[in-house]
Structure 1
Amino acid sequence: MEIKEFGKTTFGIDAKLYTIENDYIKLATTDYGATLVSLIVKKYNIDVVQGFTNVKGYETEVKYMGQTIGRVCNRIGKGTFELNGKTYHVPVNNNGNSLHGGVNGFDTKMWEATMNENCISFTYTSADNEEGYPGNVKVEVTYELLDDCVNYIVNAESDADTLLNITNHSFFNLDGPKSETVLDHQVKINALNFACVDANGCTHEEILAVKDTPFDFTEFKSIGKDINVEHQQLKNGSGYDHHFLVDNEGFREFARCKGSEIEMIVSSDLPGCHVYSSNFLEGNYSFTKENGKFPYRSSICFETQYYPNAIQTCNQIKPILKKGELWHHKTQFKFI
């Protein structure tokens, strides 16, 4: 176990870096945004997540990278929703919609950290009306290291009915920080259907079968094989930026992703997974690992979550956390 300085935030708060390891994996996180900073697969000495060497990179260079996203990840159409007969307005920060919790979501907060040999836990209390959401919500995020896998576990409770849809937003490149593309990674997703997005990237009710589309990952194929195919949904998402409705229920395998040496298995008990092919990375940033770059489409995200914008749909489970109930979900990243 190790704790060390990770730089000062723009508000002058000292961020810390928390590191644990076992025989297979070395894991580092920071209390700014309950963020996954580094995940080294020791057998290959490869850090499989993109990230920064200073907290300022997460504040000012690439938002959401490796961070805990909430209260509600993904988009809420036009930043408006109804709950228990009342209309709520949350900040609009992305093409007319509310994205990833608003202007100051969970990714911007300083969390309280505790750690032991195989766990790093972060806690944060989101006050009533923070970013326009009702209820005081107590959240605990735990990164648990178990042999060849990392569990991302979230527990939360609220003193009033509210919305909650939390995810981890790590950007994976299984070939490490010196790799400049993820398009050669092979991916398999256990989903027969995906959700459509509009021209502003917002998900609505329309669902399509993946069969005979560029979104068919029911067998392994490279991310780049169909990403430039002429298809309206690829245009709307600027590539893959879509929710896959993972088959079956309960804790199950969602997806597999293969680099040149490492294979990652993503499992979760959530309803689905938003897959994002880092379509808006721009290349050169400060504070990157090993003086690396984050070029366009150099990583892929598997954001396990409830259906995006479900509060505005009539055909999906709505991410409503009832007063006094426990929100408990687990996502696992396993490396072979």
Structure 2
Amino acid sequence: MEQEFGINQRGDPATLFILQNERFIMAVTDYGATLVSWIDRKKNIDIVAGFDKVEDYIDHVAHFGSMIGRVANRIRNATFTLNGTKYYVSANKGANSLHGGWNGFDKLMFHGEENGSEVVFTARSPDGDEGYPGNLDIRITYTLDEEGIHIKSEGITDHATLFGVTNHSYFNLNGCGTIKDHEVTIFADAYAPNDESGTAVGTLIECQNTPFDFRQPKAIGTDFACGDEQISMNGGYDHHYAVSGSGLRDMAVCKANGLKFVTRSNLPGIHFYTGNFLNGAYTGHNGISYGRHERVCFEPEYYPNAINYEGFAQPILLAGEKSVQIIEYLLCDED
């Protein structure tokens, strides 16, 4: 089902696509290929932060539900070198580039088509877009089934470029209120510390015997007040985890309200963000305002700024090749 969703900043109409089955209702929009709403019909709650019209997405800076690209997370000093050429991308977060620049995928107008249990979004990011080389053709497919939401992102370019996406949905398994009591497991032995700008510094630290150890289930807020410099600097977790294994695999599990939420991906790691910078300024579905530590993000991704570091998988896409990056959000009743 399709609905009008308002007018974007360029005067184009936006569309909301709604899919449903016995367990879920999912709404996505062609503005930013964004996950707008995900309702668990059994609990009668919307577990995703979002807005009821596209105009609110234009004005906000939290990337609620949007697909992020060309590159998720930060690029230090907004520069990188690829095949001997230095590129300068948008510096939209201090000296760094964040989540694709001023007008990343979250501000891109996609063409959407509904096909049964799928919505397919396609767009082209032209050569030079936000400073990135190459014409990049993007295809993002949302599939809804009884297990949850499956997101497949495909990229093809005519010139070597970077392509490393994520989905930036904010979750709350209670529908609203604090997420500090959500119990989380992250299948990672090591995490990346950040510098003062929030950029991963290019190393990994073992999680064992640190507040970053979620290898066994732990309530999110357990160590918020532990005094760890990284947690204090960020007001919570806002860090990359190197997830064990390769290929499509479980990355994190979150439990609350009798629900079990699993994040799966074929990307190298995951960013764990606990809504530290939400301040109640945004009001979304059902009049709910989104406050600090009231949402949690699980963002599969490459290591932040990987293109400028050695020893990490890099989001390089060569001309004529296709990259397929998968993110799955699965929801069921807790065991």
Q: Determine the C-alpha separation between the residues in 1 that align with 2:10 and 2:318.
A: 34
Q: Determine the C-alpha separation between the residues in 2 that align with 1:228 and 1:184.
A: 14
Aligned positions, number:
332
Give the match for residue 197 of structure 1.
194
Map 1:15-34; keep pairs closer than 5 Å.
Answer: 15-34=14-33
Give the match for residue 266 of structure 1.
263
| Residue identity matched to 1:285 | Y
Q: Determine the C-alpha separation between the residues in 1 that align with 2:120 and 2:36.
A: 14
In the alignment, is residue 89 of structure 1 matched against residue 85 of structure 2? no
Deviation of 1:12 after TM superposition, in Å, equals 2.1
Give the match for residue 301 of structure 1.
297
| Residue identity matched to 1:327 | S
Q: Determine the C-alpha separation between the residues in 1 that align with 2:45 and 2:147.
A: 14
What SS class does the counterpart of residue 178 from structure 2 fall into? coil
Give the match for residue 315 of structure 2.
319
Give the match for residue 223 of structure 2.
226
Give the match for residue 141 of structure 1.
140
Give the match for residue 54 of structure 1.
53
Deviation of 1:62 after TM superposition, in Å, equals 4.0
Give the match for residue 105 of structure 1.
104
Query: C-alpha offsets along residues 292-323 of structure 1, whole Å, 9 cap, x if unaligned?
Result: 11011111101101111001111101110011
Root-mean-square deviation (Å): 1.0
Q: Determine the C-alpha separation between the residues in 1 that align with 2:327 and 2:282.
A: 29
In the alignment, is residue 129 of structure 1 matched against residue 128 of structure 2? yes
| Residue identity matched to 1:119 | E
Q: Determine the C-alpha separation between the residues in 1 that align with 2:246 and 2:141.
A: 22
| Residue pair 1:136, 1:158 contacting (<8 A) in 2 also | yes
| Residue identity matched to 2:187 | N
Deviation of 1:227 after TM superposition, in Å, equals 1.9
Deviation of 1:331 after TM superposition, in Å, equals 1.2
Map 1:36-75; keep pairs closer than 5 Å.
Answer: 36-75=35-74
Deviation of 1:55 after TM superposition, in Å, equals 0.8
Query: C-alpha offsets along residues 200-220 of structure 1, whole Å, 9 cap, x if unaligned?
Result: 101121210111111010111
In the alignment, is residue 257 of structure 1 matched against residue 254 of structure 2? yes
Q: Determine the C-alpha separation between the residues in 2 that align with 1:11 and 1:277.
A: 32
User: What stretches of structure 1 move > 3 A for 4+ residues in a row?
Assistant: none
| Residue pair 2:269, 2:302 contacting (<8 A) in 1 also | yes
Q: Mark the runs of 5 or more structure 1 residues left unpaired by the alignment.
A: none
User: Cα–Cα, structure 1 residues 63 and 332, in superposed 2: closer, same or farther, change >3 Å?
Assistant: same
| Residue pair 2:260, 2:331 contacting (<8 A) in 1 also | yes
Q: Determine the C-alpha separation between the residues in 2 that align with 1:310 and 1:149.
A: 30
Bigger shift: 319-328 or 41-50? 41-50
| Residue identity matched to 1:324 | G
| Residue pair 1:190, 1:254 contacting (<8 A) in 2 also | yes
Give the match for residue 234 of structure 2.
237
| Residue identity matched to 2:18 | T
| Residue pair 1:272, 1:304 contacting (<8 A) in 2 also | yes
What SS class does the counterpart of residue 91 from structure 2 fall into? coil
Q: Determine the C-alpha separation between the residues in 1 that align with 2:154 and 2:9.
A: 29
| Residue identity matched to 1:204 | V
| Residue pair 1:200, 1:236 contacting (<8 A) in 2 also | no
Deviation of 1:72 after TM superposition, in Å, equals 0.6
| Residue pair 2:224, 2:235 contacting (<8 A) in 1 also | no
What SS class does the counterpart of residue 235 from structure 1 fall into? helix
Identity, % of aligned positions = 41
Q: Determine the C-alpha separation between the residues in 1 that align with 2:147 and 2:248.
A: 18
Scaled by the length of structure 1, what TM-score is found?
0.97
Deviation of 1:327 after TM superposition, in Å, equals 0.6
Map 1:107-186; keep pairs closer than 5 Å.
Answer: 107-176=106-175, 179-186=176-183
